[in-house]
Chain A
Amino acid sequence: MSKQVKVALIGNPNTGKTSVFNALTGLNQKVGNYPGITVDKKEGVCKLSRGVKAYILDLPGTYSLNASSADENVVIELLLNKNDKDFPDVAVVVSDVENLKRNLLLFTQIKDLKIPSILVINMSDLMSRKGISLNIPILEEKLCTKVALLSTRKNTGIENLKTLIENYRTLPKAQCLDATSIDSDYFERLGKAFPNQDLYKLWLVITQDVNFRSVARNELDFTNFQTKTAPELKRLQQKEAIKRYQFINGILNEAQVIDQSKAKDLRSKLDRVLTHKIWGYLIFFTILLIIFQAIYDWATIPMDLIDNTFATLAEWIKNTYPNGGKITDLFAEGIVSGIGGVVIFIPQIAFLFLFISILEESGYMSRVVFLMDRIMRRFGISGKSVVPLISGTACAIPAVMATRNIENWKERLITILVTPFMTCSARLPVYLIIITLVIPNGNFMGISYQALTLMLLYLIGFGMAIFSAFVLDKVMKIQRKTYFVVEMPSYKLPLLKNVFITVVEKTKTFVLEAGKIILAISIILWVMASYGPGEKFNNAEKIVMAENNNISDTALEDKITSYQLEHSYIGIVGKTIEPIIKPLGYDWKIGIGLVASFAAREVFVGTLATIYSVGSASENESIETIKIKMSNERYENGNKVFTFASGISLLLFYAFAMQCMSTLAIVKRETKSWKWPLIQLFGMTTIAYLFAFISFQLLK
């Protein structure tokens, strides 16, 4: 029979909590959601000795048990609710050796909830370099706990931590701070009103209630209890913090010695350059350039490989099962091209998350926030909006979720609303294909026109995001207190294992989430393109033959298939919206792509691939690449469909239109209202239509 221990991993941000989680669980982890909210729930399993398993829950990073964001609130909700199925048997509180004093504040709070707690002191390998020495027995005695010195970088101390977790029953449960010392009168009254409850827990429930009405009250009824006003409560909270620091300072005076003369300070050397008024910005923009170079240049190598592989696979299916009829077609044209359309994104998404996680892990991202805050504030957003905006160049979904650490609601809301203007990787295939079709080859100062166009599109997206943030800031009448406190962590060499796990996790989530939608739509599109109502679709062959008597066989087959497509279900949809999109320079086939794109932009290329390969399905030729097919696409009168004018119009439409169901769903969840996603949908799409209309009319 196997035993299990429920472990909650708690700690300040930047303490290497995730490294500890990764060290304990390896790839034995999964990311889910807490019910009703979008906070990531990371769980993993760790094998202890003799068939004992630890179920480890990686809680969001928090500086204290007084939550100021939805992420932090998760920690308190769980720790206050003994009946929660995730309520831990033992709390593992991760601290880092450099910030022990501040980290211990959270530790003492958790101890005061009488949860068995282990104190992990991470990054212990830095002790000698920082001139820090610790007296562990004193720490353990004074804090009534067990201490695990750990270095995830050097991979030491993990086994010791596992042993401590396994023996959690022996941990002392003593509290650190006597709650009545904060305000004896108030807490004595509280104790009398709720004789069976723990004072500190009551106190947390009362203070959390001010900020988050949702805290599980555990059938506590405060209606008859005379509490205090919010400012009075805050003064008590400050007093609590002072008391806790007195307690902590008392311990650290005995247990910790810091020899400043031995400290080798990497921070001040690097900060002198990286936060410099000129160099800081130059370095930041250089890093951005390298990221874009990687995504748009290096990533093309694996992408071409993936593209070719799927083309070959589709061809192989057709050749191997030539008599499969509709089933073969469904696999070759619907499913394989649909999956290909998802898989092709992997290199770019992986590259982007590789860079973002390196920048976050190294501590550099906080410097970017510091450098950009003042500039961004001019547009109504915060320095913290920079990370979501940069993430938005990969995918708006994680980007919108990354706005959660912006404490100011107005800044956060504006960031959420404008992030989808950033050029996400789903737009990229659309851009790439249209750019190669309509932008001529050639150079301007050594940079190709095509690369320049792509860069311009990124700038346009960013410009529109900033501009609309500015407008929204002026229009919206929300007054909230500004909260801006950013920790500047010390610089660290990113741990390869952490970076790797982040890249794998994020890429997997993207592929699975987006993949489901894209695959489903590809199949629906294929069905809609392969079937149609009534006479015209079913008797296409006869009708076309009757109209064209003396043309060659191949030309006749072409005529038949395109006639069939025109009268299929999807053709009817495209034809219906053609009058609306004609002024933008699009034909009905592009119209189908647009309609499908409202589910997800990346569907566009796949859709055209499906439509055009359906068009030539009857010919037993090898599968051409989609580019050649598109450039050969002509109107009845012989004019090319994809011209410079219609191409630019299409690029601008995709730059601005809100075409992503998943983003809308995330925005709804994050703003808890349909109002904002609907504003996004109609606002952005109107802007897109206007820009596409103007550009086509001017250029045609």
Chain B
Amino acid sequence: MNLNNMGLTVADLNKGERGVITDCSSEEIPLKLLEMGCLPGNEVTLLHLAPFSDPMYMNINGSFLAIRKETARLILIQKIDE
């Protein structure tokens, strides 16, 4: 089952944009990321991008983290419009 096609993911955010995590149940997401606050209902803000938009530097639930684009693609979100 691939949920990724169904909605926006963190990888779709532009610099400065925010979103609310809706699902992060993918097997491939490391537990460590979940424990650092990457959980449904929490907010994500994309802060900076390295060249080729990878890795992505973001604020998840108050934690400042960098993750690779391939992981970001697994985290489903709903965009918050400013």
In the complex, whether A483 has a CB less than 8 A from a CB of chain B is yes
A-contacting residues, B26-82, CB 8 Å: 27-28, 30-37, 39-40, 47-48, 50-52, 54-55, 57, 61-68, 70-71
In the complex, whether B25 has a CB less than 8 A from a CB of chain A is yes
A133 to B1, CA, bound (A): 45
A245 and B39 form a contact (CB under 8 A): yes
In the complex, whether A439 has a CB less than 8 A from a CB of chain B is no
In the complex, whether A556 has a CB less than 8 A from a CB of chain B is no
Number of A-B contacts (CB under 8 A): 108
CB contact between A486 and one of B31, B47, B62, B66 (< 8 Å): that residue: B66
Q: In the complex, what residues of B have CB within 8 A of residue A237's CB? A: 31, 34
Q: How would residues 100 to 121 of chain A score, 1 for a CB under 8 Å from any chain B CB and 0 otherwise?
A: 0110010000000000000000
B35 and A373 form a contact (CB under 8 A): no
A237 to B38, CA, bound (A): 13
In the complex, whether A275 has a CB less than 8 A from a CB of chain B is yes
In the complex, whether A477 has a CB less than 8 A from a CB of chain B is no
In the complex, whether A489 has a CB less than 8 A from a CB of chain B is yes
Q: In the complex, what residues of B have CB within 8 A of residue A19's CB? A: none
CB contact between A275 and one of B35, B48, B52 (< 8 Å): that residue: B48
Contacts A238-B39, A373-B50: A483 and B64 contacting too (C-beta < 8 A)? Answer: no
* Identity of the chain A residue whose Cβ is nearest the Cβ of B58 in the assembled complex: A488
Q: How large is the interface on B (under 10, 10 to 19, 20 to 34, 35 or more residues)?
A: 20 to 34
A490 to B59, CA, bound (A): 12
In the complex, whether A371 has a CB less than 8 A from a CB of chain B is yes
In the complex, whether A25 has a CB less than 8 A from a CB of chain B is no
Q: In the complex, what residues of A have CB within 8 A of residue B55's CB? A: 370, 373-374, 383, 484, 486
A102 and B32 form a contact (CB under 8 A): no
Q: How large is the interface on A (under 10, 10 to 19, 20 to 34, 35 or more residues)?
A: 35 or more
A485 and B33 form a contact (CB under 8 A): yes
Q: In the complex, what residues of A have CB within 8 A of residue B63's CB? A: 99, 102, 487
A99 and B32 form a contact (CB under 8 A): no
Contacts A277-B51, A487-B36: A370 and B27 contacting too (C-beta < 8 A)? Answer: no
Q: In the complex, what residues of B have CB within 8 A of residue A366's CB? A: 66
B61 and A484 form a contact (CB under 8 A): no
Q: In the complex, what residues of A have CB within 8 A of residue B35's CB? A: 63-64, 66, 105, 241
Q: In the complex, what residues of A have CB within 8 A of residue B31's CB? A: 64, 66, 68, 234, 237-238
In the complex, whether A407 has a CB less than 8 A from a CB of chain B is yes
A488 and B37 form a contact (CB under 8 A): no
Q: In the complex, what residues of A have CB within 8 A of residue B65's CB? A: 485-488
Q: How would residues 357 to 375 of chain A score, 1 for a CB under 8 Å from any chain B CB and 0 otherwise?
A: 0000000001001110110
A268 to B57, CA, bound (A): 12
Q: How would residues 234 to 253 of chain A score, 1 for a CB under 8 Å from any chain B CB and 0 otherwise?
A: 11011001100100000000
* Identity of the chain B residue whose Cβ is nearest the Cβ of A275 in the assembled complex: B48
Q: In the complex, what residues of B have CB within 8 A of residue A227's CB? A: none
* Identity of the chain B residue whose Cβ is nearest the Cβ of A68 in the assembled complex: B32
* Identity of the chain A residue whose Cβ is nearest the Cβ of B63 in the assembled complex: A102
A271 and B32 form a contact (CB under 8 A): no
In the complex, whether A482 has a CB less than 8 A from a CB of chain B is yes
In the complex, whether A3 has a CB less than 8 A from a CB of chain B is no
Q: In the complex, what residues of A have CB within 8 A of residue B25's CB? A: 235, 238
A366 to B37, CA, bound (A): 19
Q: How far does the Cβ of A132 sit from chain B's closest Cβ, in whole Å? A: 11
A385 to B47, CA, bound (A): 23
B34 and A371 form a contact (CB under 8 A): no
B66 and A242 form a contact (CB under 8 A): no
A483 and B61 form a contact (CB under 8 A): no
Q: In the complex, what residues of B have CB within 8 A of residue A277's CB? A: 50-51
Q: In the complex, what residues of B have CB within 8 A of residue A484's CB? A: 55, 66-68, 71
B-contacting residues, A217-235, CB 8 Å: 231, 234-235
Q: In the complex, what residues of B have CB within 8 A of residue A101's CB? A: 37, 61-62
CB contact between A483 and one of B30, B47, B57 (< 8 Å): that residue: B30
Q: How far does the Cβ of B20 sit from chain A's closest Cβ, in whole Å? A: 15
B-contacting residues, A344-393, CB 8 Å: 366, 369-371, 373-374, 383
B57 and A485 form a contact (CB under 8 A): no
With most chain A CB atoms within 10 A of its CB, the pick from B28, B39, B61 is: B39
Q: How far does the Cβ of B48 sit from chain A's closest Cβ, in whole Å? A: 5
Q: How far does the Cβ of B11 sit from chain A's closest Cβ, in whole Å? A: 14
Q: In the complex, what residues of B have CB within 8 A of residue A369's CB? A: 66
* Identity of the chain A residue whose Cβ is nearest the Cβ of B48 in the assembled complex: A275
A272 to B30, CA, bound (A): 28
B36 and A481 form a contact (CB under 8 A): no
* Identity of the chain A residue whose Cβ is nearest the Cβ of B41 in the assembled complex: A242
Enumerate 19 A-B pairs (CB-CB under 8 Å) in ascending A order.
A63-B36, A99-B63, A101-B37, A101-B62, A105-B35, A235-B25, A237-B34, A241-B34, A241-B39, A271-B57, A272-B48, A373-B55, A373-B66, A373-B68, A374-B52, A483-B32, A484-B55, A485-B36, A486-B67
Q: Top 3 nearest A-B pairs by Cβ distance? A: A488-B64, A486-B66, A64-B35
Residues on A lying within 8 angstroms of B by beta carbon are 63-64, 66, 68, 99, 101-102, 105, 231, 234-235, 237-238, 241-242, 245, 267-268, 271-272, 275, 277, 366, 369-371, 373-374, 383, 407, 481-490
4 more CB-based (< 8 A) A-B contacts, given A374-B55, A488-B66: A99-B62, A102-B63, A482-B71, A486-B66
